[in-house]
Chain A
Amino acid sequence: MSRSPLCKPWEHTLTRRQLLGAAAGTAGTIGLGGLGGLVQPAVAEEMKQKEKQVLFMWIDGGMSQLESWDPKPNTQFGGPFRAIPTSVPGVHISELLPRSAKQMHHLAIVRSMCTQDNSHSAGVGRIQRGDPKNRGVTYPYFGSAVAKLMGPCERKLPPYVWVKPGSSGFIHQDAGFLGPKYGALAFGDGKPPENLLRPDTVSEADDAARQKLREAANRRYGELRRPLANDANSYVYDMAQTLMRRSDLFDTSQYDPRDVQRYGTHDLGRHTLQGLKMLEAGVRFVKVNSYGWDTHGDNFNGHLSLMDKFDQAFSAVVEDLADRGMLDHVLVIAMSEFGRTPRINGHVGRDHWPEAWSIAMAGTGLKRGVVAGATNDKGTFVDTDEYDIGHMFHTWFRCLDIDAFKVEYDNGGQPLPIAHDDMQPITAVLA
């Protein structure tokens, strides 16, 4: 019989006590050499062959497709900006993406997204969970799905990390019915949990003793609770222990200043660069996000400012992944919960528009330098086959060598499809 707990360990930010308890005499040790520079070429080659990974850039609030991947210059709703040529002949994108235009030969753009929700409150979850058929369960976010289906990479770093503005914590809600173990480990502003390292005042022996005590307490705790809860509890400690071996991941002072400038010194630039380092270190799924894109007012000045930062970070990471051969095994996705209305409102803003918007991708399993789907001349609606987020989940799973028509979740004996069962991958972008 389970004891009713007052609270659940995974609901807490990783605390100093938890981390100290998890130290196990490994504090301050470094696993594979500092990540101040790149992973050594031989190591990168090994990872390239063995490990598929994901970089998921979440632009929260809604990036305008008209000011990014699907410009309609000189039309009624086109806005003030021009379209510019890219490294792929015949493909034009907004002038607000000059650096990304030079990386277009690595990219796969879908311009015919048509999704179901025009609110943030429901849309964010619905999109990141793949909007499957309602089977009475809460589906996992894509990052949690990948963590469950693929597990951690060989180096056993946490499989799903989130570098974000704001606070840190363990975001168990992302995991849905998979259980809290598959949630996101969030690093607020890219910083590690507080007091990651073992203080000098605690000896290794004392630390080891504390670890034994914790393990004993954990066993006792687990005997009286559901395995799911105990698994998650242990998982939080295990991750903390792993991270303590990789404190270098958070030492941004060791980054090449030229990289810092290339990616941008703003949040999105710093976090994307840190995301790259985490991929190089062997994290399976890295989410990087930017808030503040809900431009109902002053959309055009807003995008003029915001897109510059996105363009800087996105183009830099695509270029670096390509240069290192990592696009062969890393899937890059940049998207929002929807696009923005073609209609320009009185506040010179654009509102929410799930009817016709764009997603940018690059990397493993994808064709390079392609655009799939199209909107009409004014950019108001999709003119070709419409793609919902379920199509994207099928596409992404295919890129990761997961057959979404064969692989299922097991929800306590209930088989559940991992992507919308009426949708298919978008073959136009698949390699």
Chain B
Amino acid sequence: MATTEELKARFAPNEVQQLTTSRQLHTLRFSPCGKYLFGGGYDAAIHRWAVEGDEPFKELPPIEGHSGWVQPLVFAHEAGLLFTADSWGRISAWNYADEAPEAVWTVADSHDGWVRCLSLSPDGRQLASCGSDRMVRIWSAADGTKQTELSEHADDVYAVAYHPGGEFLVSGDLKGVVKKWEIAAGKSVGEFDASALYKHDRIQDVGGVWRLEFSRDGKTLACAGTAPFGGGTVQGVPSIMLFDFDSGQLEHTMKLGAVKDCYVHDLHLHADGFVIAVTSGTPGSGQLLLQVPGEDAPFFSSTKMSNCHSISLHPDGKRMAVSATNRGSNGNGRQLKDGEYAGNNSPIHIFELVS
């Protein structure tokens, strides 16, 4: 394991490019081949950019067909598929490298409403989904046939992730309940207590397990979200709870900011043992953080970007994309620009990660 000083010397994110968007994005992901960057939008579109060496990223026509918000983006490398889902319940698989990708298969009503997360099994054969209907479902990645339905959550299920070993699946919900499922048996065999990521405030349920991520060796499970302070205008401390997967014991809780910084929106557990995370809270606040679990402070942080929502590491390990929000995104009442009521957008910041 490298020391923090060594990591600091090796990983020094440097912004090299910024992409403009006309709409807001929820999720950003590089394809496993490294040739494309995809963004799931609030406009029901899947936005795309071609990535060629050090050339500026080239925007491609978006993929249409979804409704509401497109949130999860997951790839099957060998099959060349991109799996996407939206807030109206649709899951689709696309040949993402095609010039004009068509849906290979679609399940229109995979969930009743918002599909929050997808995860592909390590062997690439199963796709797990979860949603606001409190369900976890497993589909054939090849054709979208439903294989299993897991129904023990009592609340909206926000996140799902396959264990690298392929035997287990985890799912996390609004109240911070993280269930460990034995896939072959189709039953839960344990729970992780991430209830610190939830609060009941007045009549509002606040927080939840927004992201689940395994370390490459499968020994550590990261549960990300916020330690909520209150509802309404949600505030809280962006937090990542790191559990030992076998024992279920909480090993560390990473507190990544102040109350105004609110949610960890996305994270990546780096092979070198540190966490890359982005946060978004009070409009204007946003952080990119690289931190070793157990350390008090990040070895790199940037607050130059406003409201960071997603992060994706390029397969070459040398580049990273962060989606943020334009400045001045908030404000009460009538604010017109050139006579028009303008929406917000998600500038994408491309970093060189390795020094």
A292 touches which one: B204, B208, B282 (CB < 8 A)? Answer: B204
Closest 9 CB pairs of A and B: A346-B307, A346-B325, A80-B87, A118-B333, A352-B332, A345-B330, A296-B233, A298-B234, A346-B329
Q: How large is the interface on A (under 10, 10 to 19, 20 to 34, 35 or more residues)?
A: 35 or more
B contact patch SS: loop
Q: Is the CB of B233 within 8 A of A309?
A: no
Given contact pairs A343-B344, A345-B307, A354-B333, enumerate 18 new A-B contacts (beta carbons under 8 Å). Answer: A74-B68, A79-B42, A80-B68, A80-B69, A81-B114, A118-B333, A267-B202, A290-B202, A292-B202, A292-B203, A296-B330, A302-B204, A343-B329, A345-B283, A345-B330, A348-B309, A349-B283, A352-B332
Q: Mark B108-149, 1 if CB is under 8 A from A, else 0.
A: 000001100000000000000000100000000000000000
Is A381 an interface residue, CB under 8 A from the partner?
A: yes
**Interface residue tally of chain B, by bracket?**
35 or more
In residues 268-313 of chain A, which contact B (Cβ within 8 Å)? Answer: 268, 290-298, 301-302, 304-306, 309
Chain A residues, Cβ within 8 Å of B174: 305
Q: Which of B201, B262, B342 contacts A297 (CB 8 A)?
A: B262
Residues of B within 8 A of A (CB): 23-24, 42-44, 67-69, 87-88, 113-114, 132, 156, 174, 201-206, 208, 231-235, 262-263, 280-284, 286, 306-307, 309, 324-326, 329-334, 341-344
Find out whether the CB atom of A74 lies under 8 angstroms from the CB atom of B44. yes
> What is the CB-to-nearest-CB distance from A427 to chain B, in angstroms, rounded to a whole number?
28
- The answer on a CB contact under 8 Å between A304 and B156 is yes
Q: In the complex, what residues of A have CB within 8 A of residue B344's CB?
A: 343-346
Q: Is the CB of A81 within 8 A of B87?
A: yes
- How far apart are the CA atoms of A76 and B144 in the complex, in Å? 29
Prevailing SS type, chain A contact patch: loop
- The minimal Cβ–Cβ distance linking A291 to chain B, given in whole angstroms, is 6
A174 partner residues in chain B, CB cutoff 8 A: none
A381 to B334 CA separation, bound complex (whole angstroms): 9
How far is the CB of B327 from the nearest CB of chain A, in Å?
Answer: 9
Nearest chain-A residue to B132 (Cβ)?
Answer: A304
Chain B residue nearest to A350 in the complex (CB): B330
18 contacts between A and B (CB under 8 A): A76-B23, A79-B42, A81-B87, A95-B113, A302-B234, A305-B203, A305-B205, A305-B206, A343-B342, A343-B343, A344-B42, A346-B329, A347-B280, A348-B280, A349-B234, A349-B330, A351-B331, A378-B341
Question: For the complex, what is the distance from the CA of A336 to the CA of B149, rounded to whole Å?
Answer: 40
Candidate in A346, A348, A378 with the most chain B CB atoms within 10 angstroms: A346
